[in-house]
A and B are shown apart, each in its own frame.
Chain A
Amino acid sequence: MKKNRILTMAQAISEGIAQEMTRDTNVFVMGEDVGSYGGIFGATGGLLDKFGKHRIMDTPISETAFIGAATGAAAAGLRPIVELMFVDFFGVCMDQIYNHLAKNTYMSGGHVSLPVVITTAIGGGYGDAAQHSQCLYSIFAHIPGIKVVVPSNAYDAKGLMIQAIRDNNPVIFMYHKGIMGLPWMAFFEGSSNAVPEDLYVVPFGKASFVTEGSDITIVTISQMVQKAVLAANILKEQSIHAEVIDLRTLVPMDTESVLKSVRKTGRLLIVDEDYLGFGLSGEISAVIAENLDSVSLKAPIKRLAVPNVPIPYSRPLEQFVIPQVSDIVLAAQELMLKKVALLEPQ
């Protein structure tokens, strides 16, 4: 086996899919431009040549039909992977996702198994405006019955993809465009890393401690992990030691790792590229609030996320609403100076 083989996240995802397709002939792929194009974001690169058009199926622009068909095919024993080109496009097909794919197992009393993987591109930062730049993972995490996987790097992406395909439940696998390592979009190089050729899984619900630190916990996911690591390096020069936690999956979510870290640091910064309101950052905050009998905060919780506005097109506006490395550094610095209010003794 070749050692230190560096892959981009796109390459790692397509390799994981290919290896599972070789292992299990029930696995197949459907979606727009997944064939000769190899997926607009490269997640199915090279698969058409390997497996042919009966297993790598280009579809019409008919998401309701082919995502619904994935549910039907899975119920009949296959293991479909379906691509929703941009997560922003879920609007045209959400009924099939949230009222059927996510609920049929429950409504059947657990008798119907739906091993479907929806792959979809998320994220902004490259001027694609309000209909092509959202993350929206919190919307899917909000709906019971679908697992939500949001990798930050190539190694995790391959292992999480293999786990997703083997899972007997619906999974939405959300890859951020700005860490896929595409030749036509700037990306965070930390997202391309060493990926074993062997098959391996990264289990769901296990966060990764990307950096260890004792001063502040930064909980994040997806491309923001790469930004948080760069911020942690800057903070380290200022003797602020940040512990960056990559949740890797939102459903299931590893709350224990978050609690463990915050018990140690006493400070929590949540960094999220999804909208601020009613989302990931609020959920993590609630987990801490509900455990204040065993967690002692030194400072209030701080949330960095997209304010509740659509993603604007113009560069200065977009850079303003999407948290940047400098914003993370600043927020951490501020948090180090803050204190929690102490109740007066009765």
Chain B
Amino acid sequence: MQVGKEKLLWMFEKMVQIRYYEETMASVYMEGKLPPAIQKGLAFDIGAGPVPGEMHLAAGQEPVAVGICAHLSDDDTVVGTHRPHHFAIAKGVPLDPMTAEMFGKVTGLGKGKGGHMHLFDNAHKFSCSGIIGASMPIACGAALAAKKLGKNWVSVAFFGEGAANQGAFHESLNLAALWKLPVIFVCEDNQWAISVPKPKATSVEWIADRAAGYGIPGIRVPENDAVHIYEAVAPAISRARSGEGPTLIEIKTDRYFGHFQGDPETYRPKDEVAHLRKNDPIPKLSQMLKDKGFLTVEQESMILKKMHGQVDAAFDFARKSAYPDAKDALQDVFVNGHITGRALV
């Protein structure tokens, strides 16, 4: 499958934006978390600063998000993971409320109730979860709904290679295969489940090979490259859209930051990240676009300026937004009135 200029440029823009978003968050997240602002004796305080709690960043994993989402429309569902920003940005979740959510502000996607692992955007059919493996049953449900409603919508469940050892993985693959659900199961193999490397936790070298056990296609994608991924998953998308059922896809990708920001990463070889960064997919795509004559140096700097500007504006919006009133904590356990956002029918 040939990827057109427009699609390539879209992927490049999104990757640039995701990378800058994650780098910005990496530094904003550390505000207020280091001595001497924190409890004496601590090296780092996870609960302090404008963005508290765990922070899982996806720098290095951009190709997975854009290579898949380039096939999707607003009607298609994406369910992400605890490391969700790249998926959200690629799916079109607006940066302002997404960022405000991570600052715990009332203007956030969930009015500050969810935080960075729990982003919900009905309009773009995006959600995610902090529980490993949880994306897969939910994506099956969205696919079931599409099927029952007679739509050709697809749903994508993203998950890490560690999640392929959860019961939810095996149950979901069987269910989706049995019912021919339009799901694309996308495993992001970044080799690390927190501190545990894949070979120490997984019985097979390729999780994609497990597809055979459920009678569905398994696709191995060995390159952390957006174009490569886009082309490799195309058959899975058309298979799902035409009602033939699910596909399991495994993509080798790279995690540049720790499992969470502040992770001492004592378990990881010291030079691993530097080595991985030599294979950075963004400059590679930039070079490819230039070689094809799709991008000039001037255009590239315009793109960077625009993409970075949107991220900066979102962080500014989040900082300037108000916190919710404390008593708002008691609202929204149940919905009152109609469901907001896009309904399924």
Interface residues of A (CB under 8 A from B): 32-33, 35-37, 40, 58-62, 64-65, 88-89, 91-92, 125-132, 183-187, 307-310, 312-321
A20 to chain B, nearest CB (A): 24
Check B53–A313 contact: CB distance below 8 A.
yes
- Binary per-residue interface labels of chain B (318-331) against chain A in the complex, 1 for a CB within 8 Å, 0 otherwise: 00000111111110
Binds A, one of B3-11, B107-115, B146-154: B107-115
Separation of A259 and B202 alpha carbons in the complex (Å)? 52
- A184/B323 contact (C-beta < 8 A), A36-B195, A37-B194, A61-B163 known: no
- Give the distance in Å from the alpha carbon of A313 to the alpha carbon of B4 in the complex: 41
Contacts of B341 on A, CB cut-off 8 Å? none
Minimal beta-carbon separation of A50 from chain B (angstroms): 17
- Chain B residue with minimal CB distance to A59? B201
A129 touches B118 (CB 8 A): yes
Give which listed residue, B41, B162, B195, contacts A37 with CB less than 8 A: B195
9 A–B contacts from the bound complex (CB under 8 Å): A37-B267, A61-B201, A92-B131, A92-B167, A128-B46, A312-B113, A313-B101, A317-B112, A317-B329
Please measure, in the bound complex, the distance between the C-alpha atom of A321 and the C-alpha atom of B326, giving whole angstroms. 8
Would you call A32 and B196 a contact (CB within 8 A)? yes
| Residue pair A313, B113 in contact (C-beta under 8 Å) | yes
Interface majority SS (helix, strand, loop, mixed), chain A: loop
Pick the residue among A61, A125, A132, A316 that contacts B193 (CB under 8 A).
A61
Give CA–CA (A36, B200) in the complex, Å: 12
**Interface: B166 (CB within 8 A):** yes
**Complex contact B333–A312 (CB within 8 A):** no
Q: Distance in Å from the Cβ of B203 to the closest Cβ of chain A?
A: 9
Alpha-carbon gap, A183 to B327, bound state (A): 32
Do B43 and A183 touch across chains, with their CB atoms under 8 A apart? Answer: yes
The answer to whether B168 and A183 touch across the interface, beta carbons within 8 angstroms, is no
Interface bits B175-206 vs A (CB < 8 Å: 1, else 0) = 00000000000000000011110001110000
Name the residue of chain A whose CB is nearest to the CB of B331. A309
Tell me the minimal C-beta distance from A277 to chain B in angstroms: 11
New A-B pairs, 6, CB < 8 Å, besides A186-B48, A320-B327: A32-B193, A89-B132, A128-B115, A129-B53, A131-B129, A132-B54
| Residue with the highest number of chain B CB atoms closer than 10 Å, among A58, A60, A313, A320 | A313
Say yes or no: A317 contacts B326, CB within 8 Å.
yes
Q: Does B42 contact A (CB under 8 A)?
A: yes
Q: Which of B38, B168, B193, B330 contacts A92 (CB 8 A)?
A: B168
Q: Which 8 A-B pairs have the closest CB atoms?
A: A127-B52, A126-B47, A314-B104, A313-B115, A314-B112, A127-B53, A60-B165, A320-B326
- Shortest A80–chain B CB gap in Å is 18
Chain B residues, CB < 8 A from A33: 194-196
- Minimum C-beta distance from A129 to chain B (A): 4
**B118 CB, nearest partner CB in chain A, Å:** 6
A184 — which chain B residues lie within 8 A by C-beta? 42-46, 262
With an 8 A cutoff between CB atoms, is B138 at the interface? no
Contact A316 B323 (CB under 8 A): yes
Q: How far, in angstroms, from A35 to B166 measured CA to CA in the complex?
A: 20
In Å, the complex CA distance between A184 and B267 comes to 17
Neighbouring A residues of B249 by C-beta, 8 Å? none
Tell me which residues across on chain A come within 8 A of B167, comparing CB atoms. 62, 64, 92
Known: A313-B112, A321-B329. A61 touches B117 (CB 8 A): no
Contact, CB under 8 Å: B104 / A317: yes
Taking a contact as CB atoms under 8 Å apart, the answer to whether A61 and B266 are in contact is no
Q: Which residues of B contact A307 (CB under 8 A)?
A: 329-330
Across-interface contacts of A131 in B (CB, < 8 A):
117-118, 129-131
Chain B residue total in the interface (Cβ 8 A) = 56
**Which chain B residues lie closer than 8 Å to A89 at the CB level?**
131-132
Q: Which residues of the partner chain A approach B67 to less than 8 Å between Cβ atoms?
A: none
Closest to A132 in B: B130
| Shortest distance between the CB of B252 and any CB in chain A (Å) | 19
CB of B39 within 8 A of chain A? yes
Shortest CB-to-CB span from A253 to chain B, Å, is 29
**B53 with A183: CB separation less than 8 A:** no
> Which one, B118, B162, B168, B325, contacts A313 given CB within 8 A?
B118
The reply to whether A58 and B200 contact each other, CB–CB distance below 8 Å, is yes
> Is B281 close to A, CB under 8 A?
no
User: Of the candidates A60, A91, A132, A313, which one forms a contact with B201 in the assembled complex, judged by CB atoms under 8 Å apart?
Assistant: A60
Q: Report yes or no: B45 in contact with A186, Cβ–Cβ below 8 A.
A: yes
Distance (Å) between the CB of A314 and the closest chain B CB?
Answer: 3
Q: Which of A65, A131, A315 has the most CB of B within 10 A?
A: A315
In Å, the complex CA distance between A245 and B113 comes to 33
Kindly identify which residue among A37, A128, A129, A314 contacts B323, using a CB–CB cutoff of 8 Å.
Answer: A314
The residue of chain A having its C-beta at the shortest distance from the C-beta of B200 within the complex is: A58
Check B326 against A316 for contact (C-beta < 8 Å): yes
For residue B60, CB closer than 8 A to chain A, the reply is no
A88 neighbours in B (Cβ, 8 Å):
131
Give B183 Cβ to nearest chain A Cβ, in Å: 20
Minimum Cβ distance to chain B for residue A75 (Å)? 21
Q: Which residues of B contact A321 (CB under 8 A)?
A: 329
B133 at the interface (CB under 8 A from A): yes
Interface set, chain B 1-54, CB cutoff 8 A to A: 38-39, 41-48, 51-54
Q: A126 touches which one: B52, B195, B324 (CB < 8 A)? A: B52
Residue of A nearest to B105 (CB): A314
| Residue with the highest number of chain A CB atoms closer than 10 Å, among B131, B168, B193, B329 | B329
Q: Knowing A37-B195, A317-B324 touch, does A91 contact B131 (C-beta < 8 A)?
A: yes
Contact B196 A185 (CB under 8 A): no
Determine if B266 and A36 form an interchain contact, defined as CB atoms under 8 angstroms apart: yes
CB closest chain-B residue, reference A58: B196
Complex interface bits, B111-151 against A, C-beta within 8 A gives 1, otherwise 0: 11111011000000000011111000000000000000000
